[in-house]
Amino acid sequence: MGVVNVTPDSFSDGGVNLDPDDAASTARRMLEEGAAIVDVGGESTRPGADPVDLDEELGRIVPVLERLEGEVPVSIDTSKAEVARRALELGAELVNDVTALRGDPDLAGVVADHGAYLCLMHMLGEPRTMQRDPRYDDVVAEVKAFLEKRLAAAVEAGISEELVCLDPGIGFGKTVEHNFELIRRLDELTALGRPVVVGFSRKSSLGKLLGDPEATTGTAAASVGAAVAAYERGATILRVHDVREHVEALTAAAAVLG
């Protein structure tokens, strides 16, 4: 899954794809490089980010999706029902909701009505405050219990279980150690029986691991290392910014694993 953030403030590619022509050509390039789907987002969820209002978010993503319709498989990274509805009308197939259907009471109905795929992600708190001293007794057990509950809520709302994938939410209310433990014990999440998505790409835990305590991003090479380890432990969808590097590394890893 390639990432295209149509935002001025995303933590690693903010501003790069703000022009819809640039965003569409980035998405097409990612498809050529081997992405199966491109995740288009109009609101940054980086730590400390402020929410974006509906018109602003629509104004960012609609022109991009209009340019991609029918050409590139699209996932829409949003928590807003109205943004998801417009995106699905414009051909998106997956709704990637970092609030796991807790943000907008109308989102589940929109996903169900369109028969769309859905990604449910774990987040502790909300982006503005989530990195202020996150604590868990057992991060993996708590993330697992949360995802199980949100999956049940999605099914209850009429979304077919076969259309749902689950994501531990790397960096969303987690310390560096929490993030690595989630990947180390990923088998406990794949045991839920749904495909697991991992988005470690360029996240600050990678920069911190490599010795910069103030890092806000991580390198492509460190991202690839984390993605390959996650893949080996059962992740099926890797959400990444550097598609070519990840496709090459994962192709080699797949050949080794058989």
In the complex, the residues that contact ligand HH2 under the rule CB under 6 A are 3, 5, 7, 10-12, 41, 44-46, 77, 96, 98, 119, 121, 167, 169-170, 197, 199, 239
Instruction: Indicate the helix (H) or strand (E) that contains 54.
Output: helix 54-68
Q: How far apart are the first and last CA of the chain?
A: 22
* Residue among 62 and 258 whose Cβ is closer to ligand HH2: 62
Nearest distance from C-beta of residue 227 to ligand HH2, angstroms? 12
Which active-site residues does the annotation give? 203, 239
Nearer to ligand HH2, 181 or 252 (CB): 181
The strand pair at 38-41 and 2-5 is best described as parallel
How far apart CA 153 and CA 159 sit, in angstroms, is: 9
Toward ligand HH2, which CB reaches closer, 237 or 256?
A: 237
Residues recorded for the chain:
258
- Give the shortest CB-238-to-ligand HH2 separation in angstroms: 10
The residue whose Cβ lies closest to ligand HH2 is 199
Conformational region of residue 193, where left means phi above 0, alpha means psi within -120 to 50, and beta covers everything else: left
- Taking the complex as a whole, the smallest distance from the CB of residue 7 to ligand HH2 amounts, in Å, to 6
Determine the Cα–Cα distance for residues 50 and 210; give it in Å rounded to an integer: 28
